């Protein structure tokens, strides 16, 4: 009986996303923690949607997401149509891009991936998918050795340039060489050197990236808030049921 109850409880935690699998983190880097409280902030989600449409949707599609679903984060169809629809005609259309895949591969070296479920697909031992995106979009630096002129700590030698550089500014990364316990020489990151300021302060930029990642996390499963709230009630029911079953078994 105890094993059955534990199995049911663990399965429910898995479905709620409270227990995650373990995978290799890219570059062995531990990712910064995404400010998850933004998932409950409608203003953050709306700002994230605006950033996504203006900076991501030029190259990356979200072809499983419809514009009218943005009503779930408090936007009216009129607001969606006037402020967020640049590549579609109807509010019921999906978030596709007009960029030709062949041209994208020719210009960028790779066809930009669809971002609908990107936050759900990047979880690893370094953290959640949201943690990865939050770190990735904040660790760009100038690198003349890379074809696009940029590099990234979370995803070294990424084909994607820093599309948000005007907001963050330009900077270089500082590294030093250290030896591990086996004498192997490793490269250690020692911070950044700012080359030119962006239109945002570092705090404002981090906050904006938090909003953008919150939107991408929400976009991957718009009903996740409802799922979690329902899961809490299910856990409460199972708790009461467990006590009743235990007392009946004792009797």
Listed by start position, the domains of the chain span 25-115+126-220
d(CA 166, CA 185): 35
d(CA 25, CA 17): 19
- Residue 14: per-residue pLDDT: 43
d(CA 98, CA 101): 9
Q: Among 69-78, 81-90, 185-194, 211-220, which is the least confidently predicted range? A: 81-90
- Residue 15: per-residue pLDDT: 43
pLDDT in tens, 42-52: 999 999 999 99
Alpha-carbon distance values, 95 to 18, 49, 102 (Å): 29, 11, 19
For 223-231, the CB contacts below 8 A with 24+ separation are 224/17, 225/39, 225/40, 227/16, 228/16, 228/17, 231/12, 231/15, 231/16
pLDDT at 16 > cutoff 80: no
251 pLDDT tier (thresholds 50, 70, 90):
low
Sign (positive or negative) of CA dihedral 75, 80, 84, 88: positive
Average pLDDT over residues 126-147: 95
25-115+126-220 belongs to which CATH class?
A: mainly alpha
pLDDT at 10 > cutoff 50: no
- Residue 25: per-residue pLDDT: 35
Average pLDDT over residues 28-39: 89
- Give this prediction's pTM: 0.78
**Which residues lie across from 189 on neighbouring strands?**
175
**Which residues lie across from 184 on neighbouring strands?**
none
Tokens of 104: 């994208």
Cβ neighbourhood burial of 233 (10 Å; 0-12, 13-18, 19+): exposed
6 pLDDT tier (thresholds 50, 70, 90):
very low
pLDDT in tens, 138-196: 999 999 999 899 999 999 999 899 999 999 999 999 999 888 888 888 888 999 999 99
From 161, 133, 131, select the one nearest 147 (Cα to Cα).
161
- Residue 232: per-residue pLDDT: 77
Tokens of 67: 């514009």
- Residue 88: per-residue pLDDT: 79
From 156, 117, 121, 116, select the one nearest 136 (Cα to Cα).
156
pLDDT at 123 > cutoff 90: no
For 58-61, the CB contacts below 8 A with 24+ separation are 58/97, 58/99, 58/163, 59/97, 59/99, 59/104, 59/108, 59/112, 59/163, 60/97, 60/112, 60/113, 60/114, 60/115, 61/94, 61/95, 61/96, 61/97, 61/112, 61/114, 61/115, 61/116
């Amino acid at each position: 009986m105890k094993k059955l109850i534990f199995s049911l409880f663990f399965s429910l935690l898995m479905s709620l996303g409270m227990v995650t699998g373990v995978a290799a983190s890219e570059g062995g880097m531990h990712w910064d923690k995404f400010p998850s409280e933004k998932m409950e902030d409608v203003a953050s989600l709306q700002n994230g949607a605006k950033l996504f449409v203006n900076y991501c949707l030029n190259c990356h599609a979200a072809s499983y997401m419809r514009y009218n679903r943005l009503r779930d984060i408090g936007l009216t169809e009129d607001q969606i149509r006037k402020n967020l629809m640049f590549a579609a005609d109807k509010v019921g259309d999906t978030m596709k891009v007009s960029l030709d895949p062949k041209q994208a591969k020719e210009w960028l070296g790779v066809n930009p991936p669809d971002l609908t479920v990107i936050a759900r697909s990047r979880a690893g031992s370094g953290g959640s998918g949201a943690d990865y995106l939050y770190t990735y979009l904040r660790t760009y630096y100038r690198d003349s050795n890379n074809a696009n002129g940029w590099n990234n700590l979370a995803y070294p030698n990424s084909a994607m340039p820093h599309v948000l550089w005007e907001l963050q500014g330009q900077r270089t990364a500082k590294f030093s060489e250290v030896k591990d316990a086996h004498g192997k020489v490793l490269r250690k990151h020692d911070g950044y050197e700012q080359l030119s300021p962006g239109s945002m302060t570092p705090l404002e930029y981090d906050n904006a990236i938090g909003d953008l990642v919150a939107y991408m996390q929400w976009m991957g499963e718009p009903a996740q808030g409802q799922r979690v709230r329902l899961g809490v009630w299910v856990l409460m029911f199972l708790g009461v049921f467990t006590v009743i079953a235990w007392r009946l078994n004792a009797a």
